[in-house]
């Protein structure tokens, strides 16, 4: 038998992936999900302008996309109030950019700081580039900024990850706390501020775009409020020197033509996105009422999902499994004490009503 000459890093990795997709669960169960509420995707479709843009691009499917994504970066820059396009780089979603950022600064064995139970795709990239993950616990269901900063200093870490608002808890910090966190970091530390849920957050949670710091990389995506998760497009905002560094190693054709055209069209229809955000707010309130009615505790959320404390890991897992048996896909956090909760994506009113019906039944039984 031929043995593949894996690098020592790859050879040492467990055969693990960050997520088991809903499709894999469907294949295992031999049945499709009726409600897909586990991946914080948008369940609100896309703007008609986006649909037209995608259809229009079919004629050019044979061409590579613009590797500089110039038109899209220009559009993003103007939608953000005129930041320089030299501060922007696009990627195939935040997930790809996380990998590029880890690779940018991590040598094998380097410490990298995150929170225990935070977004697992980041950890996956750290492992893949041979970094040593240092994870600090959440405090009161929030990422603990003081503990993250302490760990950075103690370990001499060059990279720290923080998501605001946070997945999986839905919690958030005020912009002032985030700014103070960045400014207190050692000069040579890069902080990844993952703002995947920015559109759903109160503006008080988002540092102004005028707040720039060479240590700060902010990540945004078209996967959530704009409904383009399947097309894979997101961006990093950072100091031009960081963007130049990323340019040395990124996948230049990673953001395909359809993704670029669709993202531009999405920004041409801010009214559509605003409606999604308003409906998600309504949905969060619906879920909060539902949870209270069922005797479990909804956590405050600044995202497109609601995390619900059901009282313990065993019950959370049992509820997840019972929902799965009812063809409802949800997820739950992976570590203690967060795993006393389940996490449910907010969908349109009809989906919420159907979920409520099933959830009431399931929580009475489990």
Q: Is 229 in the site for ligand PLP (CB under 6 A)?
A: yes
Among 47, 106, 114, 163, binds ligand PLP (CB under 6 A): 163
Binders in 239-298 for ligand PLP, by CB under 6 A: none
Q: Is 223 in the site for ligand PLP (CB under 6 A)?
A: yes
Minimum Å gap between C-beta 361 and ligand PLP is 28
234 near ligand PLP, judged by CB under 6 A = yes
Q: In whole angstroms, give the CA distance from residue 268 to residue 162.
A: 30
Site stretch for ligand PLP (CB under 6 A), options 46-54, 134-142, 221-229, 247-255: 221-229
Closer by beta carbon to ligand PLP, 305 or else 359: 305
Size of the site for ligand PLP (CB under 6 A): 13
| CB of residue 195 to ligand PLP, shortest distance in Å | 8
Considering the complex, state which of residue 49 and residue 229 has its C-beta at the smaller distance from ligand PLP: 229
Give the H or E element holding residue 123: helix 120-128
Pairing of strands 132-136, 111-115: parallel
Backbone phi and psi for residue 331, each to the nearest 5 degrees, phi listed first: -130, 170
Q: List residues bridging with 89 in a β-sheet.
A: 236
Total count of residues recorded for the chain: 366
Least distance (Å) between residue 44 CB and ligand PLP:
16
Q: Which is nearer to ligand PLP, 25 or 366 (CB)?
A: 25
Report how far apart, in Å, the C-alpha atoms of 255 and of each of 70, 75, 101 are: 12, 15, 16
Rg (C-alpha) for the chain, rounded Å, is 20
- Contact status, residue 93 vs residue 122, Cβ threshold 8 Å: no
- Enumerate residues 167-196 that contact ligand PLP by CB under 6 A: 167, 194, 196
Give the Cα-Cα-Cα angle 275, 47, 230 (nearest 5 degrees).
110
8 Å CB contact between 20 and 124: no
Q: How far is the CB of 230 from ligand PLP (least distance, A)?
A: 9
Q: Does 142 bind ligand PLP (CB under 6 A)?
A: no
Note whether 40 binds ligand PLP by CB under 6 A.
Answer: yes
Verify binding: residue 164, ligand PLP, rule CB under 6 A: no
Looking at beta carbons only, is 120 or 245 nearer to ligand PLP?
120
What is the number of the residue whose Cβ is closest to ligand PLP? 93
Q: Which residues of 203-215 are buried (b: 16+ CB within 10 A; e: fewer)?
A: eebbbeeeebeeb
Q: How does strand 341-345 pair with strand 305-309?
A: antiparallel
Smallest gap from residue 222 Cβ to ligand PLP (A): 7
42 binds ligand PLP (CB under 6 A): no
Closest listed residue to residue 263, CA positions, set 60, 89, 88, 50:
50
Q: How far is the CB of 193 from ligand PLP (least distance, A)?
A: 10
| Residue 340 DSSP symbol | G
- Bridging pattern class, strands 35-36 and 216-221: unpaired
Q: Nearest approach, Cβ of 250 to ligand PLP (angstroms)?
A: 14
Q: What's the min distance (Å) between Cβ of 12 and ligand PLP?
A: 26
Say how far apart CA 283 and CA 111 lie, in whole Å: 39
Rounded distance between C-alpha atoms, residue 138 and residue 242, angstroms: 29
Restricted to residues 79-118, the positions that interact with ligand PLP (CB under 6 A) are 93-95
Residues in touch with ligand PLP (CB under 6 A): 40, 93-95, 119, 163, 167, 194, 196, 221, 223, 229, 234
């Amino acid at each position: 038998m031929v043995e593949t000459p894996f690098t020592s890093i790859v050879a040492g990795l467990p055969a693990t992936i960050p997520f088991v997709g809903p499709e894999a669960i469907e294949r295992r169960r031999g049945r499709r999900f009726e409600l897909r509420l586990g991946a914080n995707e948008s369940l609100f479709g896309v703007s008609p302008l986006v649909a037209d843009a995608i259809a229009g691009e079919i004629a050019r499917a044979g061409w590579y996309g613009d590797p500089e994504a110039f038109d899209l970066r220009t559009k993003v820059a103007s939608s953000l109030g005129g930041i320089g396009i030299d501060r922007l780089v696009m990627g195939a979603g935040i997930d790809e950019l996380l990998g590029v950022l880890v690779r940018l600064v991590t040598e094998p064995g380097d410490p990298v700081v995150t929170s225990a139970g935070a977004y697992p795709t980041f950890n996956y990239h750290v492992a893949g580039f041979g970094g040593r993950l240092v994870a600090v616990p959440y405090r009161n269901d929030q990422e603990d900024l003081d503990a993250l900063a302490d760990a950075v200093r103690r370990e001499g870490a060059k990279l720290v990850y923080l998501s605001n608002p946070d997945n999986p808890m839905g919690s958030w910090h005020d912009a002032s706390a985030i700014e103070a966190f960045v400014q207190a970091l050692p000069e040579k530390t890069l902080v990844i501020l993952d703002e995947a849920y920015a559109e759903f957050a109160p503006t008080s949670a988002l540092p102004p775009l005028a707040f720039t710091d060479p240590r700060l990389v902010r990540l945004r995506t078209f996967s959530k409020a704009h409904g383009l998760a399947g097309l894979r497009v997101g961006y990093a905002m950072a100091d031009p020197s960081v963007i130049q560094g990323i340019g040395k190693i990124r996948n230049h054709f990673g953001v395909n033509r359809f993704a670029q055209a669709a993202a531009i069209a999405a920004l041409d229809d801010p009214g559509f996105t605003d409606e999604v955000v308003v409906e998600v707010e309504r949905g969060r309130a619906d879920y909060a009422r539902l949870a209270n009615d069922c005797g479990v505790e909804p956590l405050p959320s600044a995202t497109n999902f609601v995390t619900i404390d059901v009282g313990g890991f065993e019950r959370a897992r049992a509820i997840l499994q019972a929902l799965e048996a009812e063809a409802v896909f949800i997820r739950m956090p992976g570590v203690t004490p967060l795993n006393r909760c389940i996490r449910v994506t907010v969908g349109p009113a009809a989906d919420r009503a159907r979920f409520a019906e099933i959830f009431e039944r399931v929580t009475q039984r489990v």
